Chains A and B, each alone.
Chain A
Amino acid sequence: MQSKDDILKLIHSSAFQKMMKTKNRMVFCFSLLTLIAYCLFFIAIAWLPDWMGEPMFSAGIVSTGIWLAIFSVIFAVFISGIYTWWANKYFDKELQQVLQEAGLNEE
């Protein structure tokens, strides 16, 4: 059981701040990448409908828009996978260390 003071102490500890800096940077970059890809897709539909409707490859028949939609589905799964892998492998470990140093480890 942790008191409120213990918790507030943590926010000033350099280990916690360092961990949060990495975490925030990761979350920010991943969210931004997702949003950029998402916005580009919708902007292209809104303002470049002709380009989206043409076949992507000269020999092919499937339009650029459909390829991009399929690509964005795969991209979403891929980027989520990378984040989850990173958070499982590095963030959780760092968090345990920070908590241990602060004497707040629950296990």
Chain B
Amino acid sequence: MRNNLSSIVLMFFCSGFSSFVRAADALTGPVEKQPVNVTAIIMFLLFVSSTLIITWWAAKRTHSRKEFYAAGGGIPAWQNGIAISGDFMSAATFLGISSALYFNGFDALTLVVGALGSWPIILFLISERLRNLGRYTFIDVLSYRLDERPIRLVASLGSLSVLIFYLIAQLVGAGKLIQLLFGLDYIIAVSCVSTLMILYVSFGGMLATTWVQFIKAILLVFGGTAIVFLLFQNVDFRLEEIFRRAIETHPKGTELFAPRGWLKDPISVISVGLTALLGFIGLPHILMRLFTVKNAREARKSAFYAISIIGYFNILIIIIGFGAVSLIMFNPDYQDASGALLGGRNMVVLHLTHILGGDILLGFISAVTFATILAVVSGLTLAAAATIAHDLYALTLKRGNTTEKEEMRVSRYAVIGIGILGILFGIAFEKQNVAFVTNMALAVAGSVNAPILLAAMYWRGLTTRGAIAGCLIGLISSVGLIILSPLVWVNVLGLEDPVFPYVYPTVVSAPLAFFALWFFSVTDRSKRADIDRAGYDEQLVRSETGLGIAEASEH
């Protein structure tokens, strides 16, 4: 395997260098591409080579299924906490929320508060029980007392939809961003990300993924802190001054700090709140990270470390988003002839970095942004591969009659398959408006994964039939309503007047899912339902005490 790996590493580097050579030619290419930044490329190569060395090291330590999916369950809590935050803080958070603050003002804070509202709930209600009951995926927890095969099958649908939607959104965003930052072609950019992701995950499994996320989180927090420090230095360390200048520059004036810039009516606001709260709880790749620690106590501690870092970083984002206004808006260096932001709306942070720290800091932040995308897609791919190989192949299709070796082989094939699928989707969606894909991921996570996970852990009455009905109704209603919403109905299909007026369907689909979970459980008189309910006592004791956790993780 080592020989394989090194030849692939070599291949990648050759193709990587040749595309950089081509990138240099792109200087004269289309206007929207950025000039090649040497610091960015050096930083990026440094990151890629060090993470590939880590992958090589991790590959030697990844032999068993437990090592592949959960890094052997031996990651220290503080390190896992940092890696969780690295998995959670995507490029969408860093670039997207800061530019939404810059353009639309206050309303983008709903997503900041949304993320910080769901994390304490993950800590209090989910982290400990999840760790005690599960092995590799959150679906393990659902099938603890419910009928294993149908539950795994249906829950995998929800889990995989979230992961694939999220992956498409990340890859399309990544392709465009790298095109801008490094002057690479879109297709080469997407292929680069997918290839690296396949290498990290298929060889290094969870151990390599953890390290990639860990390093990236530290770089991102360091970079964000540097930007904020320079912003403060610019105004002699007076916080108010940053906000005052933003209002004085922005055409919205004081409206910049008031609601209704983007969310025009109360129902939209409530829907965003509900989507963020439930959606961030139900992200399978984040939940999966809680299995990499020894026990419930470590899982709880890692959730707390993650919250602290995410909270700190989100406060930085608020300052960066508003701080960018006075420096960039109306600055002719960063607008094109029509007055639009150079390189597109998501470039706010990068332009700000350039003003404050010149080419060197811009290069650093560009490389960190690239690392961020890599770390998040790796986490997504690993979670999807675990669902395919563990939940679907080994335990549903083969009913558990498979060897560890075979399951790992399937999961590696799954990683490669997802990587190739990612490239194809990335190319197919290049010219599409992909805003709906992120919404779909969050809406499905909030309408399928979160309701069923909470019900399985805390409600004795849940039965297999109720869980399946809840999953399916949550999935169909959330995906269906997004297709009927302005994001797909108008923006993608080009039809007039959306059937469903809100961009987030969770305000309807999550209550529907909860209702279906409840209704089809309480009316369930089958024999299986008695087994499901009777299993709750044992599940409760195990979930709180962690008894049997060792057997579970060795299984």
Contact = CB atoms under 8 A, between A and B. Distances in A.
A47 B273 CA distance: 14
Interface of A is mostly: helix
A45 B260 CA distance: 8
Given A70-B318, A77-B307, A46 B270 contact: yes
Contact of A76 (B119, B267, B544): B119
B547 A106 contact: yes
Given A31-B121, A72-B117, A80-B120, A49 B545 contact: no
B115 to A, nearest CB: 9
Interface string B279-291: 0000000000000
A76 B255 contact: no
Interface in B526-555: 537-538, 540-542, 544-545, 547-548, 550-551
A38 interface: yes
Given A11-B537, A72-B117, A92-B297, A84 B123 contact: yes
A65 B124 contact: no
A64 to B, nearest CB: 9
Given A49-B258, A72-B117, A92-B297, A27 B240 contact: no
A38 B123 contact: no
B547 A7 contact: yes
B300 interface: yes
Contacts of A11: 537, 540-541
A2 B123 contact: no
A60 B240 contact: yes
A72 B243 contact: no
A20 B545 CA distance: 10
Contacts of B254: 53, 61, 63
A88 B120 contact: no
Nearest to B548: A2
A106 B124 CA distance: 24
B258 A53 contact: yes
B277 interface: yes
Interface size on B, as a range, is 35 or more
A76 B258 contact: no
A39 B263 CA distance: 16
A88 B297 contact: yes
A80 B303 contact: yes
B30 interface: no
B304 interface: yes
B112 A38 contact: no
A49 B260 contact: yes
Given A34-B120, A38-B117, A7 B542 contact: yes
Contact of A65 (B258, B311, B547): B258
Nearest to A47: B266
Contacts of B308: 77, 80-81
A31 B124 contact: yes
A16 B312 CA distance: 38
B259 A80 contact: no
B113 A72 contact: yes
Contacts of A7: 538, 541-542, 547-548
Contacts of B545: 10, 95, 98-99, 104
A82 to B, nearest CB: 10
A48 to B, nearest CB: 9
A90 interface: no
Contacts of B116: 72-73, 76-77
Contacts of A27: 124-125
A76 B123 CA distance: 11
B125 to A, nearest CB: 6
Contact of B112 (A23, A49, A69): A69
Contacts of B107: 45
B244 interface: yes
Given A53-B257, A63-B257, A74 B125 contact: no
B314 interface: yes
Interface of A: 1-2, 4, 7-8, 10-11, 16, 19-20, 23, 27, 30-31, 34-35, 37-39, 41-43, 45-47, 49-50, 52-54, 60-63, 65-66, 69-70, 72-74, 76-77, 79-81, 83-84, 87-88, 92, 95, 98-99, 104, 106
The 4 closest A-B CB pairs, nearest first, are A53-B258, A46-B266, A63-B257, A42-B273
Given A77-B116, A77-B312, A80-B303, 7 more contacts: A10-B545, A53-B254, A61-B243, A61-B244, A66-B257, A73-B112, A73-B315
Interface of B: 106-107, 109-110, 112-113, 116-117, 119-121, 123-125, 128, 240, 243-244, 247, 254-255, 257-260, 263, 266-267, 269-270, 272-273, 277, 297, 300-301, 303-304, 307-308, 311-312, 314-315, 318, 537-538, 540-542, 544-545, 547-548, 550-551
25 contacts: A7-B542, A8-B537, A10-B545, A27-B125, A30-B120, A31-B124, A34-B117, A41-B113, A45-B259, A46-B266, A53-B106, A61-B257, A62-B243, A63-B254, A63-B257, A65-B109, A65-B257, A76-B119, A76-B307, A80-B119, A80-B308, A83-B124, A84-B303, A104-B545, A106-B547
